[in-house]
Structure 1
């Protein structure tokens, strides 16, 4: 509760409300951010990113285990983000040549990078090898053959892991489950494909087999799935040790730690998942009489998500008797497609008074020419008027990363805020940018 006797939004800390009663991010008034950089605007609280990295690292240090906290770039990738990760002595995983090139241009140490993907191209793999990427996670038999050819062509070597599908379905949206048997990712265990892949990799002296990777899904709230995955990975390591004489150095358990988007979400602290995973691996490795492996995690959402905000300006409104009003903002599915794609839900507050009591429930609609362009179907808000700024919370993961130019609308700017200082780290696109790659047709 605050001094006005009102229940504050659980995702907003009391110190984020300034003397004027406005929402602040990183010590900067959101109305000032909207005025300086325009809306729609994506804003990140950099201190929050750093804090979550350090919380993960502390868990590993307390458990005395070799580790990497590998930021999953797909949640949000930019030069500035990679630079912050480097400053926090983090690791990254990249899933495309574009993410890889951005990291290279950011000056990120590529020996602290892992390359993922189920259909890596020869061009992407060549880029990874020529920049001496630290790890390649092999996803399929085609990739083993392609990588082997490139290693011979470039006369080089590389560290690799094998991605397996552990047969564990996390309690999450079916579109973001990746650990079940029937998945496009990784080698199946029961069919013997994983064993075949291991033998092919071990037979190639240019590939240094380092460990096993698995990822069971995203936005997971229950620790039992991760504990099960950890135990399964150790059992695979035991089988490979006994059957093929291979000792696993690293178990990469992926990410997927759930975060709080709305008051209905009740996730554990992300670091609590990691503590449970580490303890499960240690126990299983001891029981299997195996050397304790290093443990890697790949958090994306849990690092970028809570640190991100989308700022919008209210425009038109449509009231229909018997229905919730449409309150339209200057962004929408082009800068956050998750509500349309996953039926994702967020909390939104009035930036100039996030503590104001709600007086109505509205549908927050975007400006895109699609009926499904709705950012929220049931959002309680105080009275609003055109020109008001709304702040949508916890939008830092898979918002800008999945942004598009639908309707030829420019993508928003991205601003990093830390210690009361705001810096534009991704420029806002312009209308002219929309036709920048177009060519005249002269038949």
Structure 2
């Protein structure tokens, strides 16, 4: 990921194979925090590629792969093609490449009506460019890392309504629906302003008569899971489903406010299996080494 890392790797493993990450100067993604190309901390910048060859030669390293990753949650084909063209241009300067890795970041549509990534077109255009490159260079493999694209819509966070607060703001009614979860379990809305659809599971057949903010139980005003959501009239105890949380949901969760994380359950048709048990307060103290805890 950097010249210093490559040098350190060379000292530890001289004469070995290595792959390096190239920053193509192109970034894309659903939020600025998720853009990993362009002016970011990631990858070896194009003006440093010559240094890669020098360090590799110094430690007898064989560069067998070039990698790039422009960002996360990308829904357009064009940024990938631009990045690939830069990567292949860099690749022509290395003689022993076995693969190029275009990274991941394939987005999924979170909002109603949002267009999905045109994977078929992306595949066709990538194949054309690789075929043309291989005619002059030789065969190289393509590697991809489509994490979110595979699991993003497979996750649902079930929460229970524990509080309903109605306030009048200048004559306009504002509704807060408090639930027994929060940014500690799903930080994407608070961190990225990410949208996740909310469905009233226990009243799915009722008309949506209210507009509300679904808020969590963490002591921060930014702990909002969804804003301005159309919902049926709710009661304490109702269950809401926050959908499309399969990617960067549980993996980004925490025990903030000393709150345990929920269980994870795998469901396939009629088959149901507990995948991860619910945390307990004892779990939160398990790593503590202070006497008496």
Give the TM-score normalised by structure 1: 0.61
Distance 1:307 1:272 in 2: 24
Residues 245-394 of structure 1 aligned to structure 2 (within 5 Å): 246-270=95-119, 272-286=121-135, 289-321=136-168, 322-394=172-244
Higher strand share: 2
Counterpart contact for 1:315–1:330, Cα < 8 Å? yes
Q: CA deviation at 1:419?
A: 3.9
The equivalent of 1:17 in structure 2 is: none
Is residue 77–residue 118 contact of structure 2 (8 Å, CA) maintained in 1?
Answer: no
Alpha-carbon contact 1:270-1:302 (below 8 Å) kept: no
Q: Deviation per CA, 1:36-68: give whole Å up to 9, x if none.
A: xxxxxxxxxxxxxxxxxxxxxxxxxxxxxxxxx
Aligned to 2:18: 160
Asked if the contact 1:161/1:209 (under 8 Å) is kept, the reply is: yes
Find the counterpart in structure 2 of residue 233 from structure 1.
Answer: 87
Any gaps of 5 or more consecutive residues in structure 1?
A: 1-138
TM-score by length of structure 2 reads 0.91
Alignment of 1:141 with 2:3, yes or no, is yes
Q: In structure 2, do the counterparts of structure 1 residues 424 and 361 end up closer, same or farther at CA, with 3 Å as the change threshold?
A: same
CA distance in 1, matches of 2:214, 2:122: 33
Partner residue of 2:246 out of 383, 393, 396: 396
Residue 427 (str. 1) matches residue 253 (str. 2) = no
- Tell me, what secondary structure is at the counterpart of 1:391? strand
Please give the alpha-carbon distance, in whole angstroms, between the structure 2 residues aligned to 1:408 and 1:171: 32
Q: 1:314 to 1:194 in 2, by over 3 A?
A: same
Q: Secondary structure at the match of 2:65?
A: strand
Q: Which runs of 5+ in 2 are unaligned?
A: none
Is the 2:102–2:144 Cα contact (8 Å) retained in structure 1? yes
Match of 1:111 in 2: none
Q: Post-superposition shift, 1:280?
A: 3.0
The C-alpha deviation readout for 1:341-370, integer Å capped at 9, x for no partner, is: 000011011223535431111100001111
User: What's the CA shift string for 1:72-127, capped at 9, x where partnerless?
Assistant: xxxxxxxxxxxxxxxxxxxxxxxxxxxxxxxxxxxxxxxxxxxxxxxxxxxxxxxx
Corresponding residue SS for 2:265: strand
Which of the numbers 22, 29, 33 marks the counterpart of 1:175? 33
Greater relative CO, 1 or 2 (CA 8 Å, sep 6+): 1
For the 8 Å contact 1:259–1:267, the answer to whether it is kept is yes
Query: Structure 1 residues 359 and 250 mapped into 2: Cα distance closer, same or farther (>3 Å)?
Result: same
Matched, 1:186 2:26: no
| Residues 151-210 of structure 1, C-alpha deviations (whole Å, 9 max, x = no match) | 36xxxx754211010011225421111111x22111111x2x1221133224434x4421
Partner SS, residue 108 of structure 2: coil
- d(CA) in 2 for partners of 1:352, 1:279: 50
Quick one: distance in 1 between partners of 2:9 and 2:105? 28
| Correspondence 1:222 to 2:76 | yes
Normalized per residue, the structure richer in helix is 1
Q: 1:145 to 1:338 in 2, by over 3 A?
A: same
| Structure 2 contact 29–105 (Cα < 8 Å) conserved | no
